[in-house]
Amino acid sequence: MKDAIARIELDTPRLRLRTWQDEDLDPLAEMCADPRVMRYFPALLSRDDCAAAMARYRIHFARDGFGFWALERKDDGRFIGIAGLAWSRLHQPFCPTVEIGWRLARDQWRQGLAREAAEAGLACAFERLQLPEVVAYTAAINEPSRALMGALGMRHEARDDFDHPDVPDGHPLGAHVLYRITRDNWVDTRR
């Protein structure tokens, strides 16, 4: 029988980017019920929604070896959010492609933690997985997330913008922007 695919976990100075544990559901559900964290999503997520999301993350790791990691602080062991890489579920001209994404508990913001996790994710994408490109997308009005994309060296081109198919027409969160980074761009950001 073929060996199970190895599930990648990463380490940064302050964080473990690890696979999912059942105990993550409580803090994940708490984070996804916080209107400040979910401000740029069409709706809060229920505990059942979060359990379904966790199941999807685990399936992605089992199939591809990478995915959206649970973020654990090294100093106190606390689960503080999500960041990682996943095959996009969209059917847009830029697909198939791997996206990078992030969501942190409110009391963890502006400490450089999302950037630390995302930089480790991009290094994994380009060095270990040898992907040619990674994208990120978000609601056009999500300035914090867009600023993080820019800080990572990702580039936005208006011709890639799209209306998210899961958001009703005319909704303020419908208009989405796409940012890209190729392996060559990423190598340049590290010079």
- Interface residues with ligand COA (CB under 6 A)? 37, 40, 101-104, 109-115, 138, 142-145, 147-148, 151
156 has which bridge partners? 179
Q: Which is nearer to ligand COA, 131 or 148 (CB)?
A: 148
Q: Which two tokens stand for residue 152?
A: 């990572």
Task: Reduce the DSSP state of residue 103 to 3 states and report it.
Answer: strand
Q: CB–CB of 118/161 below 8 Å?
A: no
Place of tokens 């290094």: 123
Listed residue (120, 91, 100) closest to 17, CA to CA = 120
**96 by DSSP, 3-state: which?**
coil
Pick 62 or 172: Cβ nearer ligand COA: 172
**Which residue, 62 or 163, is less far from ligand COA as judged by CB?**
163
- Comparing CB distances to ligand COA, the nearer of 12 and 142 is 142
For ligand COA, the closer CB: 5 or 109: 109
Q: How far is the CB of 50 from ligand COA (least distance, A)?
A: 14
Q: Least Å distance between CB 81 and ligand COA?
A: 6
Give the helix ranges, DSSP H, for 14-138: 25-32, 47-64, 113-123
Sign of the dihedral defined by the CA atoms of residues 186, 187, 188, 191, in that order: positive
CB of 26 to ligand COA, least distance (A): 18
**Residue 68 Cβ vs ligand COA, minimum distance, rounded to whole Å:** 12
Shortest Cβ 148–ligand COA spacing (Å): 4
Residue ranges of E strands in the chain: 10-11, 15-18, 68-73, 79-87, 98-104, 133-139, 155-156, 162-163, 175-182
